[in-house]
Amino acid sequence: MGKVMDFLKKLGENRVILPVLLVVGFILTLAISQFAPLEQGLQSVLRELHLNTYVIALVGINVILCASLNLVNGYMGEFSVGHAGFMSLGAYASSIVTVKLLPDMPDALFFFPVIVGGVVAALAGFLLALLSFKTRGDYLAIITLAFLMIVKSALENIPYVGGPRGMLGIPKLTTLAWAFFWAVVTIWVLRNLLYSKFGRAIAAIREDEIAANSMGVRVREAKILAFSVSAFFAGVAGALFAHLLVFATPATFGIFTSTEILVMVYLGGIGSLAGSIIGAVVYTLLSNWLLPLGTWRMVIMPLILVLLMLFRPKGIMGFRELPWFLPKREARRKDS
C-alpha cells in the first residue's frame, strides 16, 4: 500500500505529464475531427462502451460548465442556479452569428462566435454581480432563479430567434478538438484566476465578507470578476452545445440543465478544479448510461444531488486540489 501511495504522490507532483497529455489529447482530437476513417474507428470502439463521440464532446462542454459554476458556488460560496441562463445566452448569441450574420464563415473561425457567446453571457454575469453587492445566500439564489426564468421567457418572445421553437439549422461546428480546446482554456484561465490576488479575494469573501473588507479586499471588484468569468465560460459552453445539438430552444436551457450542472459540481467537489473535471466526467457518462431508464433519469439525477447534500456536501474532492492544477510557484512552495 505504501508503495502505491508513494507512486501516486510522485505522479501528482510530476509537472511534465499534464502538458504532455494536453498536447497528445489535442493532436488526437484534431486528427479525429479531420479524418473520417479515424472518427469511424473511434465510434466503433465507443459503441462497445455504449458511448459515442457526441457524449465525449459533451464531457468537454460539461467540464467547462462545472468548473465555471464552481467558481461562484464553490470558491465564492454563493448558490447560483442561473448557470443554464448564461449558457442559453451564449448559445443564442453565437448561433445568431453563425446562422444569420456570417453564414459563410469558414469553420476554422468557429472560435469567434464562441467568444461572442461568452461575452454576451459575461455582460449578463456582470449585471448579476451588481445585484450580489446587496444580497447574499438564499436571496441571491432566488435572484439567479428569476434571471433564468427571465432569459427563457425573453427568448420565447423574440421572433428573430424563433420564439418558442428556437433556432434551427445551426451548423454542426463543435468538434472533439474544439470541445477539448475550450475545456483546457477554461481550466487554465480559472487556475490563473484562482491562484492570484483575485482568487484569494474570492475565497476571503466566502470565508468572511466583513473581515475581507477590513483587510482591504476590493469585494465588489472580486464579485464582478467571479460572476463575469463564470458567466463567460457558461456562454462558451452554451455556444459549443448549440453547435453540437444543431438547434437551440428556450426549453433546452431550463432549471433541469442548471440542476444537472449543480449535481456535477457537488459530486466532483466544491472548490476544486480536479473535482470539477471528475464531476463532469462521471456525471456525463453515468447520465448517458442511464438513458434507457427514460423519465426515471429525471428522478434519479436530482436524487443524487439530495443524497450528496446530506452525506457528502463537499463532494469527492471538496477543497482539495490535484498538484497538477497548481501554478509552479505554489507547488514548489509546498515542496520546500
Partner 1 sequence: MSALLEVRNVSRHFGGLKAIAECDFSVTEGHAHGIIGPNGAGKTTLFNLITGIYKPTAGEIVFAGERLDGLRPSRIALKGIGRTFQNIRLFKQLTVLENVRIAYDSQLRYSPLEALLTLPRMGRNEAESIAKSSALLEAFGLGALSDSLAGDLPYGLQRKLEIARAIALKPRLLLLDEPAAGLNSGETAALTEFLRWVRTEYKVTLLLIEHHMHLVMGLCDRITVLDFGQKIAEGTPEEIRGNKRVIEAYLGAEEE
Interacting residues toward partner 1 by CB under 8 A: 189, 192-193, 195-201, 203-204, 207-208, 210-219, 221, 225, 229, 319, 327, 329, 333-334
Nearest-10 crossing angle of helices 137-156, 111-132: 140
Distance of CA 33 to CAs 56, 64, 172, 174, Å? 12, 20, 12, 10
Give 90 or 166: the residue with its C-beta nearer to partner 1: 90
Give 151 or 270: the residue with its C-beta nearer to partner 1: 270
Paired strand residues for 167: 248
The number of angstroms, rounded, from the C-alpha of 273 to the middle of its chain's C-alpha atoms is: 11
- What distance in Å separates the CA atoms of residue 85 and residue 144, rounded to the nearest whole number? 9
CB of 202 to partner 1, least distance (A): 10
CB of 188 to partner 1, least distance (A): 8
Give 3 or 334: the residue with its C-beta nearer to partner 1: 334
Give 26 or 195: the residue with its C-beta nearer to partner 1: 195
Collapsing DSSP to helix, strand or coil, 135 comes out as coil
Collapsing DSSP to helix, strand or coil, 257 comes out as helix
CB of 219 to partner 1, least distance (A): 6
Count CA within 13 A, CB hemisphere, residue 311. Answer: 8
CB of 335 to partner 1, least distance (A): 11
The number of angstroms, rounded, from the C-alpha of 172 to the middle of its chain's C-alpha atoms is: 20
Give 6 or 208: the residue with its C-beta nearer to partner 1: 208
Residues found in the chain: 336
